[in-house]
Structure formats: C-alpha cells, structure tokens
Chain A
Amino acid sequence: MKPESQPPQPAARIPGQDEAALVARVRAGDRTAFGVLAERYAGVARRVARAVLGDPDDADDAAQDALLSALVKLDQYDPRRPFGPWLLRIVANAATDRRRRRKVRRVEPLDPALVAGGARPDATTEQRALSERLRTALAELSHRRRMAVVLFDVEGYSHAEIAGILGIPEGTVRSEVFHARRRLRVLLADWKELE
C-alpha cells in the first residue's frame, strides 16, 4: 500500500508563500522581517518545545534559544525548501538538549479525581482537566513519539517532513504516530469527549 505523502491541508499549518522573501530580508539585516517570522512561528515552536519538555517555562526558554539559533544559522537555510520543518528541527534539537541537560524533575502527581475521571463542575474546569490529563499522557510517551504525534496531529506536518525534522526514517514516523495515538486512546479511554 503506498501511503499518501501529504496530509490534507491541516488547519494548523502555517502558509509559507512569502517565507523565502522574508528570510532574504532577515539575512539582509531586516529585524522587522525577523519579527514577522518570529510572530508566525512562535506558537508552533512553543508547543513543540512544550511537548518535549512538559514545563512551560523551560519550553519557552528552549523555543527562544531555538529561534535565536535559527537566526544565527539562517545562512544554512535553503530557501527552496519550506522554512517550518527547518526551524522545527532546530526547535526539537534545542528542546531535546535542554531536556538532557536539566536535572530530572518529577512531574507533579495528577489529581486522583482527574485520573478517576471525577466530578467536572463546568466546561472550563473540564477542559483544563482534559488538558492536564493529556499532558500527563504525553509525558508517558517517549519524547520522539510525543513530537511525532504533535507535529502530525497538531501542527499538520506530513510524515516525510516530520522524518526530516526528527532525523528518522519516514516509516518510523508512521509507526511512532500510530503507537502514540493508540497509547493516548488507552490513557484517555474514560474521557467522555474522547470515547
């Protein structure tokens, strides 16, 4: 079976028609252009870093370091290729490095009521609890599996692009996404919206 190489236009995907021009302006020293790029990619960079690190402050530091690193390495970017995967490779590496360096931090134990799918007084609380539960579920996955499922299902990158970002074969990406989804479904099986 030949798999589809590109997912169908995911909503989260950032359009990149003018990116080559933006990058050229940044290379020429235009900081406003860098601001536009940063504005555009800050969200995905922060989410991917958080998927790796868990802690939002650590994730923001890693995303900042990655964006600055990308700025320094911009001469290495090939403008004929999409900018997003190139940048996210730097983000993934920065987050992974930070994860290796930092001292082991214990994840705060999840509220037993959440684990048990306890009372949900209102929609906001319910949404917050679901997010907490998902973050805990993500934390139980290997960080490569986490990044694969986030890049595919949240950010809308194709398996081939994710393979480039993570530096692994495309078939491995497919396998990682599949196993991550299956694991998340098991962990979230008792959540009413996800049943």
Chain B
Amino acid sequence: MTREPLPFDHRPDPALGAALRQALEPAEGSHTAFVARLLARVADPRGTGSWDRVLARWARVGVAAAVVFSVAAGYLVGRATAAPARPSVAEALIAPRTPVVEVVLASVLGN
C-alpha cells in the first residue's frame, strides 16, 4: 500500500486488504453464534421459517391475487358483454316507436 496506485491497477493491495479485513471482521467468537442463529431461523416455523414454508406463504399470496384478478376480470367482461337492459315502463310509453300492424288495422277498421 505504499506505492501510488495506477489508475486501473488490477492487483489487490494485500496491506490495505488485510487492514480493511481486520476493520470489518465481526467480533471474535461471533461466527458460530451467527450461523447457529441463521440455521435456527431456517428451522423455526414461526419466524422466517423453512424455505418450503416461505414458498408456501408466497404461493398463498399468489393464489389470492389470482382469485381477486379473476373475479375482477369476470365482472368487467360480464359487464361489457351483457345484453342491453329491458326498458322500463316509463321509457316504453315515452319512447317514439313505429305502430305495430294490429294497431294500424284496428284504427282503420274502427274508423
């Protein structure tokens, strides 16, 4: 680490590396505890749990999302393709329409 580095020096600096490693090294004796805690989390069904449980949890979320999506899509498609609604009585009376043949005949015969 005594030399000035070249702009694109590809060689690791052993002195700097060792000093940095020492600075970042966790407390002595904590390695075993760290691994033990990790493995306990893997095995613990209440915590993050085993990977099959984690996957199962995500699978449940996925299924729930798919159900919600299906229902929403079904509703929208149903709305779009539904038959036009029957007119109400008021609409039927007010709406102008061509008289049917029976009405025309009846009015002619009546006169």
Contacts and interface: CB of A to CB of B under 8 A. Distances in A.
Task: Please determine whether chains A and B interact with each other in the same assembly.
Answer: yes
Interface of A: 1, 3-4, 7-8, 10-12, 29, 31, 34-35, 38-39, 42-43, 46-47, 50-51, 56, 59-60, 63-64, 67-68, 71-72, 74, 127, 130-132, 134-135, 138, 149-150, 152-154, 156, 159, 174, 177-178, 181-182, 184-185, 193-195
B contact patch SS: helix
A159 B12 CA distance: 10
A1 B27 CA distance: 42
A159 B38 CA distance: 30
Given A7-B12, A150-B24, 12 more contacts: A3-B8, A7-B10, A7-B11, A8-B11, A35-B39, A42-B31, A42-B38, A47-B26, A59-B26, A60-B34, A68-B42, A150-B20
Given A3-B8, A3-B10, A178-B8, A64 B37 contact: yes
Contacts of A4: 10-11
Contact of A153 (B12, B26, B54): B12
B38 A68 contact: yes
A171 to B, nearest CB: 8
A12 B22 CA distance: 12
A64 B41 contact: yes
B92 interface: no
B11 A130 contact: no
Contacts of B21: 12, 47, 154
A5 B51 CA distance: 36
A194 B15 contact: yes
B19 interface: yes
Contacts of B37: 64
A60 B7 CA distance: 34
Contacts of B38: 38, 42, 64, 67-68
B87 interface: no
Nearest to A41: B35
- Most A C-beta atoms less than 10 A away, residue of B9, B23, B35, B51: B23
Nearest to B48: A68
